[in-house]
Amino acid sequence: MSRARQPPLVTGISPNEGISWTKVTIRGENLGTGPTDLIGLTICGHNCLLTAEWMSASKIVCRVGQAKNDKGDIIVTTKSGGRGTSTVSFKLLKPEKIGILDQSAVWVDEMNYYDMRTDRNKGIPPLSLRPANPLGIEIDKGRFPQKDLEMLFPGMSADFTSENFSAAWYLIENHSTTSFDQLKMAIVNLKKQANKKNEGSLAYVKGGLSTFFEAQDALSAIHQKLEADGTEKVEGSMTQKLENVLNRASNTADTLFQEVLGRKDKADSTRNALNVLQRFKFLFNLPLNIERNIQKGDYDVVINDYEKAKSLFGKTEVQVFKKYYAEVETRIEALRELLLDKLLETPSTLHDQKRYIRYLSDLHAPGDPAWQCIGAQHQWILQLMHNCKESYVKEQKGTSLLHCSMLDLDSDVRPSPIGHLSQTASLKRGSSFQSGRSDAWRYKAPQQVVFVEKLTKLVVSQLPNFWKLWISYVNGSLFSETAEKSGQMEKSKKNARQRQNDFKKMIQEVMHSLEKLIRGALLPFSLKEGESRQYGGWEMKSELSGQWLTHVIQTVRLSSESLTALEIPNDMLQIIQDLILDLRVRCIIVTLQHTAEDIKRLAEKEDWVVDNEGLTSLPSHFEQCIVHSLQSLKTVLDCKPGEASVSFDLYSNFLLFLLSVDVSSPDLFGSIHEDSSLTSEQRVLIALSNCRYLERHTFLNIAEHFEKHGFQGVDKITQVSMESLKELDQRLFEMYIESKADPIVGSLEPGIYAGYFDWKDCLVPAGVRNYLKEALVNIIAVHAEVFTISKDLVPRVMSRIVEAVSEELSRLMQCVSSFSKNGALQVAEYFVLDLGLVRLMKRPVP
């Protein structure tokens, strides 16, 4: 058993007061399930059911009748819910009595205005007066797409006031889910409405039936009278009298009703004018609506309204419509100028640029707004780059400047999307040097390095949007469907094909400016004379170190990778690759020059502290300098895709110079630390020991590092370095031998001939003479000195000392022409000396 519905409840009525026959709208709850369910409706005690029109379960429209009470409730009675209640009331006003000739400002609610004098309908009822629901049942909008219905019913309309009205379309659109019983109820409602109209027309005829009969009787009497007389005189007399009567009646009627009929015509004209205003209010209100929507930024609404007005009134010949349409065109022209200014305004996002271009395209703006925007963006990027350079140059010179808002990319309105390509690329490699850096870095870094990083960041953040705007311009994605239908997209594509070379020049100009600005900051000597003022201006107090140049190379490489990711042709980016190559070569030269200077300064670090092997820390420092140089250049020497390889011949030749000149320089082992307890001969021995270690260990280690880093020609480098080192070693060795052997050798001849000794006339030898003892002691002292420094040098040094002494003794003996017997015995002491030297040479080293 179904549950009974709740009784009707009226919660509102609009208007809540009025005179009799005022049209009111009643709202509430449970107001019935349909027109047949509504069985009672009273307002202020008067039954209004006959004028009631059921709209929905919450809405009823009716007219207030001649009620007795001035104020009362609205009671709705339904079959399903019974008698209802009301929370509101209606106040009935007494109408003022208006005479037949009095003017009245009351609006007559007319569904159809019928002119009795012309016997025809005039005007079209306003849309607001048309019945919203002709079937009298609840409307349930379906979900059928409008385009499908238009294809299914071509040339038809769902508007029941249209000449091409399609009932099937109307039912599908508004009652696709309505039940069959409801549709039957709709047929009953239509029949009732038709009967009401027929009954109204019949009642009008019945009310004037007596008048028609009286007029018919009068005409019949006149006709019979004329036939009875049968004479022309009577006929003429009666006809004349009838005409006079009719003329007097007409004149009297015109006199009485001329003012009334005039007001009637004026009211008809006003009513028809209001109908025109109501029908064409879209055009009349359009200029004001355009202004309001422009202020709110609803440009899409403005464009849609303009297209609609253009299609309806663009070719009108009505002067009023022409006047208002001209005003619309004036507002649209102002909108075109406003949108163009916004389009060319910088900075702006890519989304806004596309949006403004689409608006201008839909408004049929003259020229090519998309190309104008591309040109404006190009000039703005160039201006940003040069302003960046000027800002940093002035800051370097100590000029106090406020931070330029144009250069504050961190707060820029377009962080790109692809504007973070450099950061993304570095994160993928896992070696981003730009991430995690503290702000203190900028205060430590040279001004040129900070400038290059800022400049590349600026280009990487701005150029992607510039490139995407061009791609959208080429493929026509900047335009809407309206522009595509009008052929504007094809025209734009044609223009883009013609301007490809111009855009290529724009990209090349940006790349050229980027390359020249970086050269002006880091490689000013590579600029031409006329370019120094435009791209240079930096104060080069000292050249950047290899470390900072490596950092700059990494920065430029990341920028190049970001631009390559945009699929910019390689020929446009070739100038950046050339710049990277020059920076790499310069970095290598500067790094090796600094390494050479560091090697020259190694002598300052020599403390002459010898370890167990007779070595100081100098060979280790030398190896560290070379290895550190190789490691610092590893990133520079590695070739990225698209980069040219650095010539290894250049690097190898420079290394040859570095190892041959600096290592063999006497300054490297010069006389320093004068307060040291070591003698100059001992320092020379230490240097010889270091050279020996360099030859046997250090150079071999350096050669392995060369091969590890992929260098070619390592054998040549090692060979030349060894030759240079051997030359240095030989000079030092000869220096030491000369300092030790010369005093010993020089003391032999004076010792032999001391006391006028003569080999032909000498005494019997009593023992070894003193000069030989002194020579042996000096040689033993040399042996001890060498052994103390490096035992490995003993054979080499002592062999040269013995050789020098032996050669001197041999020379002295060859100078003697003859020996006496005692002289011959004295010569045996030389063999004692030689024997001592041999034993000293063969003495095992502990």
| Contact status, residue 662 vs residue 600, Cβ threshold 8 Å | yes
| Contact status, residue 144 vs residue 41, Cβ threshold 8 Å | no
Cα(830)–Cα(822) distance, integer angstroms: 14
How confident is the model at residue 425, as a pLDDT?
A: 38
Neighbours of 704 (CB within 10 A): 11
DSSP string, 383-427: HHHHHHHHHHHHHHTT---PPPGGG-GGG-S---GGGGHHHHHHH
Question: What's the rounded mean pLDDT across residues 816-820?
Answer: 76
Half-sphere exposure (Cβ direction) of 335: Cα atoms closer than 13 Å = 32
Kindly report, residue by residue over 655-665, the tens digit of the pLDDT: 544 444 444 44
Kindly report, residue by residue over 110-164, the tens digit of the pLDDT: 444 434 344 444 444 443 344 567 777 777 776 777 777 777 888 787 776 666 7
Residue 771's identity, in one-letter code, is: Y
Q: Among the ranges 69-78, 189-198, 401-410, which has the highest mean pLDDT value?
A: 69-78
Residue 418 has pLDDT above 50, yes or no: no
In the 8-state DSSP scheme, what is residue 670? -
Cα(655)–Cα(421) distance, integer angstroms: 38
Going across the sheet that includes 53-56, the strands are 53-56, 59-63, 23-29, 9-14, 85-86
Question: What's the rounded mean pLDDT across residues 53-58?
Answer: 92
Confidence class for position 9, pLDDT limits 50, 70, 90 = very high
Cα(525)–Cα(585) distance, integer angstroms: 14
Residue 293 has pLDDT above 60, yes or no: yes
Class of domain 9-92: mainly beta
Neighbours of 429 (CB within 10 A): 9
SS (H, E, C) 788-831: HHCHHHHHHHHHHHHHHHHHHHHHHHHCCCCCCHHHHHHHHHHH
Collapsing DSSP to helix, strand or coil, 66 comes out as coil
Alpha helices in 54-179 (DSSP H): 146-152, 167-174
Main-chain dihedrals φ then ψ at residue 640, nearest 5 degrees: -85, 165
Cα(529)–Cα(534) distance, integer angstroms: 10
* Alpha carbon distances (Å) from 346 to 343, 477, 502: 8, 22, 21
Confidence class for position 683, pLDDT limits 50, 70, 90 = confident
Confidence class for position 242, pLDDT limits 50, 70, 90 = low
Both structure tokens of 528: 């031409």
Question: What's the rounded mean pLDDT across residues 85-97?
Answer: 85
Tokens 């144009």, residue?
Answer: 406
* Alpha carbon distances (Å) from 174 to 168, 189, 580: 10, 16, 71
Cα(450)–Cα(441) distance, integer angstroms: 9
Question: What's the rounded mean pLDDT across residues 769-781?
Answer: 82
Residue 82 has pLDDT above 80, yes or no: yes
Residue 625 vs residue 304, higher pLDDT: 304
According to DSSP, the residues that pair with 77 across neighbouring strands are 40, 83
How confident is the model at residue 62, as a pLDDT?
A: 93
Residue 12 vs residue 159, higher pLDDT: 12
How confident is the model at residue 830, as a pLDDT?
A: 62
| Contact status, residue 324 vs residue 391, Cβ threshold 8 Å | no
Residue 676 has pLDDT above 60, yes or no: no
Both structure tokens of 282: 């879209």
Label residue 766 exposed, middle or buried (CB < 10 Å: 0-12, 13-18, 19+): exposed
Neighbours of 725 (CB within 10 A): 20
How confident is the model at residue 759, as a pLDDT?
A: 72
Model pTM score: 0.54
Residue 816 has pLDDT above 80, yes or no: no
Half-sphere exposure (Cβ direction) of 653: Cα atoms closer than 13 Å = 6
How confident is the model at residue 435, as a pLDDT?
A: 40
Q: What mean pLDDT value characterizes the chain? A: 75
Return the CA Rg of the chain. 58
Cα(421)–Cα(433) distance, integer angstroms: 14
Main-chain dihedrals φ then ψ at residue 685, nearest 5 degrees: -60, -40
Residue 840 has pLDDT above 90, yes or no: no
Residue 580 has pLDDT above 50, yes or no: yes
Cα(711)–Cα(694) distance, integer angstroms: 20
Kindly report, residue by residue over 431-478, the tens digit of the pLDDT: 333 444 444 445 577 888 888 888 889 888 888 888 888 888 888 777
Tokens 């005690």, residue?
Answer: 45
Residue 648 vs residue 367, higher pLDDT: 367
According to DSSP, the residues that pair with 670 across neighbouring strands are none
Residue 617 has pLDDT above 90, yes or no: no
Q: Among the ranges 61-70, 137-146, 327-336, which has the highest mean pLDDT value?
A: 327-336
How confident is the model at residue 79, as a pLDDT?
A: 92
Kindly report, residue by residue over 691-729, the tens digit of the pLDDT: 888 888 887 887 787 777 766 667 777 777 788 878 888
| Contact status, residue 519 vs residue 535, Cβ threshold 8 Å | yes
Question: What's the rounded mean pLDDT across residues 488-510?
Answer: 81
How confident is the model at residue 200, as a pLDDT?
A: 53
Kindly report, residue by residue over 384-416, the tens digit of the pLDDT: 888 888 888 888 777 434 344 344 444 443 333
Cα(550)–Cα(87) distance, integer angstroms: 86
Confidence class for position 8, pLDDT limits 50, 70, 90 = very high
Alpha helices in 179-231 (DSSP H): 180-207, 209-229
Question: What's the rounded mean pLDDT across residues 1-29?
Answer: 85
Residue 327 has pLDDT above 80, yes or no: yes
How confident is the model at residue 24, as a pLDDT?
A: 93
How confident is the model at residue 419, as a pLDDT?
A: 37
Residue 703's identity, in one-letter code, is: A
> In angstroms, how far is the first alpha carbon of the chain from the final one?
126
Residue 264 has pLDDT above 90, yes or no: no
Q: Among the ranges 220-224, 319-323, 337-341, 826-830, which has the highest mean pLDDT value?
A: 337-341
Both structure tokens of 149: 């219905």
Pairing relation of β-strands 82-83 and 85-86?
Answer: unpaired
Question: What's the rounded mean pLDDT across residues 833-841?
Answer: 59
pLDDT more than 70, % of the chain: 74
Q: Among the ranges 68-77, 275-284, 827-836, which has the highest mean pLDDT value?
A: 68-77
How confident is the model at residue 90, as a pLDDT?
A: 92
Residue 44 has pLDDT above 70, yes or no: yes
* Alpha carbon distances (Å) from 162 to 313, 364, 494: 20, 32, 44
According to DSSP, the residues that pair with 62 across neighbouring strands are 24
- Exposed e or buried b per residue across 317-333, where buried means at least 16 C-beta atoms within 10 angstroms of its C-beta: eeeebeebbebbeebbe
Label residue 109 exposed, middle or buried (CB < 10 Å: 0-12, 13-18, 19+): exposed
Cα(44)–Cα(514) distance, integer angstroms: 87
How confident is the model at residue 410, as a pLDDT?
A: 41
Cα(360)–Cα(352) distance, integer angstroms: 12
How confident is the model at residue 83, as a pLDDT?
A: 92
Between helix 546-564 and helix 500-522 the angle, nearest 10°, is 170
- Exposed e or buried b per residue across 205-239, where buried means at least 16 C-beta atoms within 10 angstroms of its C-beta: eeeeeeeeeeeeeeeeeeeeeeeeeeeeeeeeeee
Q: Where are the domains of the chain?
A: 9-92, 257-344, 754-841
Task: Number of helices (H) and strands (E) in the chain: give both, helices first.
Answer: 28, 13
- Give kind and range of the element (H or E) at residue 540: none
Tokens 């290894």, residue?
Answer: 648
Confidence class for position 61, pLDDT limits 50, 70, 90 = very high
How confident is the model at residue 496, as a pLDDT?
A: 75
